[in-house]
């Protein structure tokens, strides 16, 4: 009697085609990324392309780490936004600040991580690992940011999405004046209506320059509470219309800010919800040291951040973001046609109003139940 094959042996056989050098990135990943973190990266690319990019899915992205100085903004983030593959973003302020260098015609250079930093300081050169640039790049960008932020339309309380949208318009104008195009994430997000939030707006050179202006009487203030509610409204709208997905590059505060939208909806506002449908992270952090912000998809379920019924649709790739994101981007652009732009920035008002209505309805229900319990009903 033949033994029945184990259910654990239902996966495809490992039987790759020999690499010829003529493969596309997508073909290489499908045919040769079969195990270990290569296997997870292939799973990530397929999850993103085949499920997260369905028409009814709203895709949020978080960005952590010095990605834009390495050119990832131009190589990956801009094509993803233009293709309608990313609908809203939470980023460190540093990524958005360094993004502006390229739009201003300022240069970043490939270099070595093994140079003498004392010598670099004497020669006015700044280093981000193996990226080198002149110190005046910072001064020129600071001047541009302060000049724009001092304009009348900025002199009020605003969300970080409003600030980045307004700044993106000016960055786009500067690109045009310099004969440049599509070099800035901020400028393309402005064009595509992709709202960009910063979870810690004071923790970057953008926040530092805004703080300097506050000392001189500037009225610009970032409304972080409005950021929390707007991002929750985006997710609630996405869930009411279809599904919600999160693509997290790195960890840190931006990752948590993207994920905390569901606890904000469920735990704090009391609105009936189940969590994000798709969880995809590219990271080199570990959960056992406490360094994997927001931890694993399974742990995120315990917080209500991920829908437990959708946990199978979660992938974590333990790989350098500057390796993983370009490969996933190339795979998605090769395998999926562009989606219509959702232009969520333009819909912030109606989405927030819907969140407020749902919150008030949930609060009335909660108050009625508490009153009934008090009467012993």
3-state helix, strand, coil in the chain (%, to 5): 55, 10, 35
Report the alpha-carbon distance of residue 88 to residue 347 in Å, rounded. Answer: 12
Q: Which of 18, 21, 14, 6 is nearest to 35 (CA)?
A: 14
Phi, psi of 122 (to 5 degrees): -65, -35
Q: Which of 151, 142, 143, 157 is nearest to 169 (CA)?
A: 151
Report the alpha-carbon distance of residue 224 to residue 111 in Å, rounded. Answer: 37
Report the alpha-carbon distance of residue 288 to residue 291 in Å, rounded. Answer: 8
Contacts of 49 (CB under 8 A, 6+ apart): 331, 332, 335, 336
Contacts of 108 (CB under 8 A, 6+ apart): 69, 71, 98, 101, 102, 131, 132, 133, 137
Q: Which of the following is catalytic: 181, 305, 360, 361?
A: 305
Can you tell me which residue has the tokens 């004392």? Answer: 118
**Longest CA–CA separation in the chain, Å:** 86
| Angle at which helices 321-335 and 25-32 cross, to 10° | 110
Q: Name the DSSP class of 264.
A: I
**Which residues face 166 on adjacent strands?**
none
Question: Catalytic annotation on 305?
Answer: yes
The answer to whether the beta carbons of residues 245 and 58 sit under 8 Å apart is yes
The answer to whether the beta carbons of residues 188 and 82 sit under 8 Å apart is yes
Instruction: Tell me the C-alpha to C-alpha distance, in Å, between residue 42 and each of 36, 81, 153, 156.
Output: 10, 21, 45, 46
Give the residue numbers marked as catalytic: 305
């Amino acid at each position: 009697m033949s033994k029945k094959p184990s259910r654990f042996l239902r996966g495809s056989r490992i039987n790759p085609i020999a690499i010829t050098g003529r493969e596309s990135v997508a073909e290489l990943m499908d045919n040769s990324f079969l195990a270990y973190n290569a296997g997870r990266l292939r799973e990530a690319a397929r999850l993103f392309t085949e499920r997260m990019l369905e028409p009814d899915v709203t895709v949020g992205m978080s960005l952590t780490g010095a990605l834009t100085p390495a050119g990832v903004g131009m190589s990956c983030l801009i094509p993803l936004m233009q293709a309608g593959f990313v609908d809203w973003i939470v980023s460190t302020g540093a990524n958005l600040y360094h993004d502006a260098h390229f739009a201003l015609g300022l240069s970043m250079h490939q270099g070595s991580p093994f140079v003498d930093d004392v010598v670099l300081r004497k020669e006015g050169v700044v280093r981000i690992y193996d990226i080198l640039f002149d110190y005046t790049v910072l001064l020129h960008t600071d001047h541009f940011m302060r000049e724009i932020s001092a304009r009348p339309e900025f002199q009020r309380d605003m969300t970080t999405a409003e600030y980045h949208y307004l700044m993106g318009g000016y960055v786009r104008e500067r690109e045009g004046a310099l004969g440049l195009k599509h070099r800035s994430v901020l400028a393309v997000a402005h064009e595509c209506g992709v709202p960009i939030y910063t979870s810690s707006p004071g923790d970057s050179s953008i926040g530092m320059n805004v703080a300097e202006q506050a000392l001189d009487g500037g009225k610009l203030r970032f409304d972080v509470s409005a950021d929390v509610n707007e991002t929750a409204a985006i997710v609630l709208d996405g869930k009411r219309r279809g599904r919600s997905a999160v693509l997290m590059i790195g960890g840190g505060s931006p990752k948590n800010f993207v994920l905390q939208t569901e606890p904000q909806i469920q735990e704090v506002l009391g609105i009936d919800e189940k969590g994000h449908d798709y969880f995809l992270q590219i990271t080199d952090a570990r959960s056992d040291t406490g360094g994997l912000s927001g931890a694993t998809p399974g742990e995120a379920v315990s917080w209500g951040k991920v829908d437990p019924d959708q946990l199978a649709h979660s992938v974590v790739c333990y790989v350098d973001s500057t390796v993983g994101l370009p490969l996933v981007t190339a795979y998605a652009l090769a395998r999926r046609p562009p989606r219509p732009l959702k232009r969520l920035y333009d819909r912030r008002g109606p989405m927030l109003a819907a969140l407020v209505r749902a919150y008030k309805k949930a609060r009335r229900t909660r108050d009625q139940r508490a009153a009934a319990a008090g009467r012993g009903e």
